[in-house]
Amino acid sequence: MTTESTPVPSPAAVPPGAPVELTGAEGVVRSLEMLGITDVFGLPGGAILPVYDPLLDSKKLRHILVRHEQGAGHAAEGYASSSGKLGVAIATSGPGATNLVTAIADAHMDSVPMLAITGQVFSNLMGTDAFQEADIVGITMPVTKHSFLVKRAEDIPATIAAAVHIATTGRPGPVLVDITKDAQQAKFSFRWPPKVDLPGYRPITKAHGKQVAAAAQLFAEAKRPVLYVGGGVIRSHASDELLALAELTNAPVVTTLMARGAFPDSHQQHLGMPGMHGTVPAVISLQEADLLVVLGARFDDRVTGKAALFAPNAKVVHVDIDPAEISKIRTADVPIVGDLKDVLVDLAAAYRDAIASEKPDLDEWWATLDGLRSEFPLGYTEPSDGLLAPQYVIERIGELTGPEGVYAAGVGQHQMWAAQFIKYERPNSWLNSGGAGTMGYAVPAAMGAKVAEPDRVVWAIDGDGCFQMTNQELATCTLNKIPIKVAVINNSSLGMVRQWQTLFYDGRYSNTDLNTGHDTVRIPDFVTLAEAYGALGIRVTKKEEVDAAIKLALETNDRPVVIDFVVSADAMVWPMVPQGVSNSYIQYARDHSPAFSEED
């Protein structure tokens, strides 16, 4: 933890040297190098142009030129989420900077460590509505951990070092550094490491021992405990510690959308994903629990349904590194602020002390849950229109690729199916826009993941709607030899919106038909589009073609691959708890309808 006036060490292990006369722009590049950054995504423009000149000479930084600044932001997110390292995006002022805002907001919601560097107009022109001027610091203040404005060249190294520290410590998140053009052009005396003063920033990492002991005592006394696991476990690299605690306590585990892969799907104690489209055992386990041990989760409305009716009989132990999350939605009986990687170790030790020599008997609880697993397995029905079942396509992608792959999803039905039907055995293998729900996330995020993890197979599982928002980054992938695989789950519609129209608007399909998958109309034709970008384009319309197409994609590593899977528009995501109702909706249907299935 950095304290006031503490020098920030260089991960690159470059010893401090004598001051060097540099421009502010050169100081940006040198600071990134000294901090161990190796890859950046960006797009130049007038206000950031001074930085791009020394960037050309850098031997340590690989710059990947994107086709849209939003792509740079999502690529930085995918880079960070797949590797655990910091993602970096660079843009110019005005529209260049505002094009980053969606990705910055996305990173903020999902706690992704990201550094955004933007150029700003000359400081004497700020506030005059100068060409391509935008108050990006003010715009991003609500969706960053912090936003800096730099007007002096000599402040650049310390500001970038502070930004990296803030982005990667405590609860990770995006930090923006906006640098005026005159600060980039001015000369100053560069010295490393700089002094960083952050007197108001002191993230708590070590939990209070009495709180941990109180949590362990509740755990030892519980008859129906559940480990409710959120994305914080992945961000804190605490999957091994979670596994140890789960096996020690024999408690069931549910992993939220952001936590898929934090606990192995194949493990007997895993009940699946909870929430609106969660498994029946996971949803009902939370509703019937007498103790929730909440680990790095934030009681998102997609998990809780109507919050006032969520887990009505459960006491709550809430562990999070961000004190603002604790008791924000559900009051915690035992609040614990700290880094999960350390807290889980302490909680396991305290649990051993609390149970003495006899472990709690959870056999009755497990009998109930195992009965639910047997009665309500996750499944789907074959479409009646003769088109592909999207669930089958996604399931086969996961099975043929395996758990060592990385899967980035867009937002909508295909996102939920990818969360449900691919088996995740390790952290950082599932990338998605969980909090913001950003269409267009998948392709650039997969691109960033492939840059960070070049030896892994990386899939972008996208919808035909999402794909059309950022597919220009296929050009970036082709030119930079980033051979991602793209599966377009093409139902010729905005699928999740259409599903809601089917269920709640009497099938009135207002503006959800995209005309991308019809036999006579394909606008655009995704195979032709892929080929125009230098990618391999494949179309699949029959079940017997699915495996061959996936295998061809896996064998093709000299360019990106796009597979247009033409699937049924009538396929829906099940189970489903309607928005704004209690999760007991599923519980009630299960108890009162002998014909209840996951498709009711």
Spell out the SS3 assignment of 356-387. CCCCCCCHHHHHHHHHHHHHCCCCCCCCCCCC
The contacts of residue 244 (CB under 8 Å, 6+ apart) are: 344, 348
Is residue 77 annotated as part of the catalytic site, yes or no? no
Q: What b/e string do you get for 344-360 counting C-beta neighbours within 10 Å, with b at 16 or more?
A: bbbbbebbeebbeeeeb
The contacts of residue 278 (CB under 8 Å, 6+ apart) are: 254, 272, 303, 575, 577
Burial of 442 (0-12, 13-18, 19+ CB in 10 A): buried
Handedness of CA 512, 518, 520, 525 (dihedral sign): positive
Is residue 131 annotated as part of the catalytic site, yes or no? yes
| Amino acid identity at 318 | H
Number of residues assigned to the chain: 600
Is residue 598 annotated as part of the catalytic site, yes or no? no
In angstroms, rounded to a whole number, what is the distance separating the alpha carbons of residues 287 and 269?
17
> How crowded is residue 303: how many other Cβ atoms within 10 Å of its Cβ?
26
Catalytic residue among 85, 122, 126, 132: 132
Catalytic residue among 33, 34, 133, 181: 181
> How crowded is residue 512: how many other Cβ atoms within 10 Å of its Cβ?
19
The contacts of residue 367 (CB under 8 Å, 6+ apart) are: none
Query: Which residue blocks in 516-572 are alpha helix, DSSP H?
Result: 526-532, 546-555
Catalytic residue among 26, 33, 69, 288: 69
Is residue 341 annotated as part of the catalytic site, yes or no? no
Catalytic residue among 114, 258, 439, 496: 496
Is residue 69 annotated as part of the catalytic site, yes or no? yes
In angstroms, rounded to a whole number, what is the distance separating the alpha carbons of residues 566 and 492?
8
Determine the number of helices (DSSP H) and then strands (DSSP E) in the chain. Answer: 24, 22
Catalytic residue among 1, 4, 60, 131: 131
Return the active site residues: 69, 131-132, 181, 496
